[in-house]
């Protein structure tokens, strides 16, 4: 990009413990598999994706004084990410991940130090938010810390992008009020709607008519943009009537390119980091263009194993999808 714009990610770092098996284990079932370990956590995955997508990136988190914390510091430095870590007496977060032969996954998280991230620490990093175009957060960290991050974002004129994950996360009305955009997957979307008294089925969500999906999105975040990520089906975008973000329609679908997926573990995080970077780097471009890049980026991430380590670099995106180069040139010179 001709000029790097800034993204601040507030969230989690985990050490991922991954078992690859032919099928996901059922209750009471023991399977043989192949094990590997690597960096992850939604926050760190998204920070790596934003940095490798060309944005100047800061990452606000909490880490233990252990091997996991040292790994986070080393990897952040390697990707040029400015790390603003709160020290914790708790161990660095961990995740247990099962991945089947089709790339599907099941994940259990041990928050550890991530649960210690405090509003006071976020507030103390005020200088890191200066000049940011987008502040991106998930909910593997305490809600009050994320609320503080979005409060600081608003003070500095940055857009607040909320990824309401994991699916069982509780989003407060105060947090919804500060979010400008939200990016749930099918399960997260339906869980959050349920808390609002609405009903939707994640299994059939992608097959719903556009007008029905748009109406549900308007219930979830009436004042902001909702992007439902739909895996191999791409995503669905819904804007409020008064702010189409440069698009020509209030709702539409962006299909995903055909890829040979082997691991979808970090695909949602890839999408979020790439979207944040695109929005920060070229805010004047139509939202649909940014979504197209983010969908491509997420799709490419599924062709490699791992979470943070699977995040592509921009030259890899251009090489994998050469038909997108005209778009890339438009964004890079914006």
Report the catalytic residues. 269
Instruction: Give the whole-angstrom CA distance, residue 34 versus residue 21.
Output: 7
Taking the CA atoms of residue 169, residue 287, residue 331 and residue 321 in that order, the dihedral angle to the nearest 10 degrees is: 70
Helix (H) or strand (E) holding 294: helix 287-301
Of 161, 184, 132, nearest in space to 11 by CA:
161
Of 209, 258, 217, nearest in space to 237 by CA:
217
Neighbours of 22 (CB within 10 A): 10
Size of the chain, expressed as the number of residues it contains: 334
Q: Which residues contact 217 (CB under 8 A, 6 or more apart)?
A: 226, 228, 236, 238, 251
């Amino acid at each position: 990009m001709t000029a790097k714009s800034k993204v601040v990610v507030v969230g989690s770092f985990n050490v991922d413990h991954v078992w690859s098996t032919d099928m996901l284990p059922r209750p009471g079932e023991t399977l043989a598999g192949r094990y590997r370990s690597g960096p992850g956590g939604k926050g760190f995955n998204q920070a790596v994706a934003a940095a490798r997508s060309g944005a100047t990136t800061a990452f606000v988190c909490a880490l233990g004084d252990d091997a996991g914390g040292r790994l986070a510091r080393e990897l952040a430095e390697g990707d040029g990410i400015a790390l603003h870590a709160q020290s914790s007496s708790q161990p660095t977060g961990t995740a247990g991940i099962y991945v089947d032969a089709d790339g599907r996954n099941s994940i259990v998280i041990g928050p550890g130090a991530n649960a210690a991230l405090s509003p006071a620490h976020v507030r103390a990093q005020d200088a890191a938010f200066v000049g940011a175009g987008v502040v991106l957060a998930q909910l593997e960290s305490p809600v009050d810390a994320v609320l503080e991050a979005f409060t600081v974002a608003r003070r500095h004129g940055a857009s607040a992008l909320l990824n309401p994950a994991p699916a069982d996360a509780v989003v407060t009305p105060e947090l919804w009020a500060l979010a400008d955009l939200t990016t749930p997957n099918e399960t997260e979307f339906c869980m959050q709607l349920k808390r609002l008294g609405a009903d939707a089925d994640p299994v059939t969500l992608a097959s719903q008519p556009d007008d029905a999906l748009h109406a549900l999105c308007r219930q979830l975040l009436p004042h902001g943009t909702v992007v439902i990520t739909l895996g191999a089906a791409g995503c669905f975008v819904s804007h409020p009537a008064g702010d189409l973000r440069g698009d020509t329609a209030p709702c539409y679908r962006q299909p995903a390119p055909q890829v040979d997926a082997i691991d979808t573990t970090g695909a949602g995080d890839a999408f979020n980091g790439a979207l944040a970077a695109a929005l920060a780097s070229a805010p004047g471009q139509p939202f649909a263009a940014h979504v197209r890049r983010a969908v491509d980026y997420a799709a490419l991430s599924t062709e490699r194993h791992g979470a943070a380590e699977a995040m592509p670099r921009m030259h890899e995106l251009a090489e994998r999808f050469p038909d997108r180069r005209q778009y890339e040139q438009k964004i890079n010179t914006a």
